[in-house]
Chains A and B, each alone.
Chain A
C-alpha cells in the first residue's frame, strides 16, 4: 500500500506520529504530514525519490501565524500526500526549487500573495502581480476595494 510506504519513509524525517493516514473520502488526501520548515527539503527529496510530483504549493493566513501547504501526488499510484508546515509570522521556509524546479513559480506566487520568504530561492520576485506591487492580496487584513 503506497500510503504506508510514504509514512514509513517520512516518519524518520518529521518525527513519530507526524505522518498519519487520513480519510480519503472526506479530505481527498491519503496521508497528512505535519513538518517543521527546516525539514521540508528532506521531505521533498524523499517524495521525489518515491516518484511523487509537486501537485500544489500554497499558504493559509491563520492571522496569528501562517501555514504553508504542500500537496504531492504520484503518476503511478493514487496516494495524495498533504504536508502542513506551521510558520510563525516573520520566519522563513527553505525553498524546494532546487529539488522540484516546478516549485519555483509556486513559491514566487506564495511570496507575492502572502509575503512569505522562501530562503535560498534563486529568483524570489513577483510573478503574477506587477513588479512594483508591495502589497500581499491574500492576507486576511488586505481589504479588496470595490
Chain B
C-alpha cells in the first residue's frame, strides 16, 4: 500500500499502548495510519526505566546481584549467569564444574519456561485461548522445580560469585527427568493445536519478513535473528560455561517470517530438554562453590565484556572496574533493545492486525528494554 507524498493530511495517528494487552508491558507505539495500513511506526520506550545501570555504580558487587533477576524477569537466570561470569572473569574466580552444570540445567529450564510463556501469550494475541492453558500447565512444573531449588518463582537470584549456593538433590533430579518426559509427550499436542492450525498458518506465513542484512544493520540477535536463517547462538558461537560438552542443535528458519520465528522457539525447547538430559546424565560430583571467595569483593582495575544467550537473544555486560568495592560502570546490552529498534521497518505497510502478530513474534520483555 503506497502512500503518495504530500498526502499526510489523510493520515491519522493511533496509539498502540502504553496500556495494550499485546504489548506485554508498558510499551507505546505511535502508528501513523492510512486507513487500515501503517505508514510509519515510532516505538516510545522508557515507562519502566529503573536506572539499573546507575544502581550498579552505587552498590557493591554482591548487592547488585538481585538486580539481575529484575531486568528480564522471564529468563532471570541467564542474567544472573552473565553478571557472575563478568565478575568472576575480572576477579579471577574459577567456578567448580558441578556448579557450572547446575547453572546450565537451571538456566535451560528457565529458558523453556520463558519460551512457554511466550508461546501461550503470543497465541492469546492472535486470538487463540486454549494453547495458553496448555503451556501454563507445563510451565507451572518448571516453576515448582525452580521454586524448590532457588526459593523464588520468577525473579531468581540464585547464582553466586564462584558457584551456586544450593546443591541439586535426588528429588529435583527425578522431578527434572519426569518433566522432560512430560513435555516431550506434549509436542504432538502443540503441533496439532497450533502449528498445523490453518488460521495460525495464514496469520504467520510470509508475514513480517526480516531479511538477514537488515538484521545485521540493527544488531538483531536471538530467535528473531535465527528465524532469518543465521545460526548465531552465543552457546555455540562463543561457548561459555560447560555448553561445549553437550550435543545440541541450533534451529534456524528459512524465510525469516513470523512462522519461522515461532518454529525456532518451539524447536529450541526440545534442544534445551536435550541439554538438560545430558547434563543430568553427566553431572559430576564435587564442590558447588569456589573456595575463598572474599566477602568484600574488590576486583582489580580493568574492563571485561561477557555475553550469554538468553531466551530473547544476546545479553552482554560491559563491566569496568577501578579496583573499588563498587563497579565503575556497568553497561547492560539487552537483546530486545536492538530487536525492537528494527520493528518500524517490519511493520511498515502492514495492517494493524499483522502488526500485532509481528510485534508478538519478537518476544519483547519491556522492562528489559527500559532497564
Contacts and interface: CB of A to CB of B under 8 A. Distances in A.
Interface of A: 25-29, 48, 51, 53-56, 58, 60-61, 69, 71, 75, 78, 80, 82, 100-102, 104-105, 113, 126-130, 137-138, 140, 142, 144
B53 interface: yes
Given A105-B337, A144-B58, A27 B302 contact: yes
Contacts of A71: 305, 316, 318, 333
A28 B314 CA distance: 14
Contacts, number: 93
B153 interface: no
Contacts of B57: 140
Contact of B49 (A60, A61, A129, A140): A129
Given A71-B305, A75-B216, A128-B370, A56 B46 contact: no
Contacts of A29: 305
Contacts of B342: 102
Contact of B316 (A56, A102, A127, A129): A56
Nearest to B92: A26
Interface stretch (B173-181, B201-209, B230-238, B260-268): B230-238
B320 A144 contact: no
Given A127-B45, A144-B51, A101 B218 contact: yes
Given A26-B302, A28-B89, A128-B46, A102 B307 contact: no
Contacts of B46: 126-130
B304 interface: yes
In the A-B complex, the 4 residue pairs with the smallest Cβ-Cβ separation, listed nearest first, are A128-B46, A28-B305, A102-B218, A56-B333
B219 interface: yes
Nearest to B330: A58
8 contacts: A27-B303, A27-B305, A48-B216, A55-B219, A75-B216, A75-B225, A105-B337, A144-B54
Contacts of A130: 46
A28 B371 CA distance: 23
B350 interface: no
Contacts of A144: 51, 54, 58
Contacts of A102: 217-219, 338, 341-342
Given A55-B316, A128-B45, 7 more contacts: A25-B89, A27-B304, A60-B328, A60-B329, A78-B237, A80-B238, A101-B218
B320 A60 contact: yes
Given A53-B217, A54-B219, A75 B329 contact: no
Contacts of B219: 53-55, 100, 102
Nearest to B51: A137
Interface in B210-238: 215-220, 225, 230, 232, 237-238
A101 B237 CA distance: 24
B306 interface: yes
A48 B371 CA distance: 28
Given A69-B318, A127-B46, A138-B53, A56 B304 contact: no
